[in-house]
């Protein structure tokens, strides 16, 4: 079955800042597609309790068939870690996809030249509301959440400013 992003209301990500917004907003949903459209990797991101984990830690889940499975976690400084609680091995498509997305988030040239395409689901990465403006679609986060999101970024170390 060929992946058609328009069928699920998605937006092609063309810059690394949007990837970071989707990852660290807390409710990001991403899909990475192969050049043929035959293969795709759905990732769902959720923040973790800061009492148990370092601030800014995000758990990564993958959609496999009709279920979501825990894949690993992203640290505040944007490092993906496959943990012992994951059902997946390093050589699986889901794990390779997660590592590739993290690599894309720090390399604009990779995004520009990659045959792989990355989409978000037209929802705010912080609250999950539907984004309906080109400006907010490009950012991956809505107008109402942007101020809170920028404050959250200042408190975490993933952007290197704290």
Crossing angle of the two packed helices 16-24 and 143-155, in degrees rounded to 10 = 80
Sequence spans of domains, the chain: 5-155
pLDDT tens for residues 59-111? 999 987 788 999 999 988 889 999 999 989 999 888 999 999 999 999 999 99
Euclidean distance between CA atoms 124 and 146, whole angstroms: 9
User: Can you spell out the DSSP letters for 95-156?
Assistant: HHHHHHHHHHTT-HHHHHH-SSEEEE-SB-TTT-PBP-SHHHHHHTS-HHHHHHHHHHHHHS
pTM score, whole prediction = 0.81
Tens digits of per-residue pLDDT, 23-39?
A: 888 788 898 988 877 77
CA distances from 99 to 16, 90, 108 (A): 14, 10, 15
For the stretch 149-159, pLDDT in tens is 777 767 654 44
């Amino acid at each position: 079955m060929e992946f058609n992003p328009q069928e699920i209301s998605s937006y092609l990500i063309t810059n690394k800042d949007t990837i970071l917004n989707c990852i660290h907003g807390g409710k990001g949903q991403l899909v990475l597609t192969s050049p043929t459209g035959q293969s795709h990797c759905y990732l769902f991101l959720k923040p973790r309790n800061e009492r148990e984990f370092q601030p800014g830690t995000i758990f990564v889940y993958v959609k496999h068939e009709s279920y979501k499975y825990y894949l690993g976690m992203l640290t505040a400084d944007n490092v993906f870690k496959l943990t012992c609680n994951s059902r997946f091995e390093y050589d699986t498509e889901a794990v390779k996809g997660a590592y590739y997305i993290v690599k894309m988030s720090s390399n604009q040239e990779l995004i520009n030249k990659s045959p792989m395409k990355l989409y978000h689901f037209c929802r705010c990465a912080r609250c999950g509301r539907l984004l309906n403006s080109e400006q907010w679609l490009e950012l991956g986060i809505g107008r109402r959440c942007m101020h809170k999101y920028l404050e959250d970024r200042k408190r975490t170390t993933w952007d290197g400013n704290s």
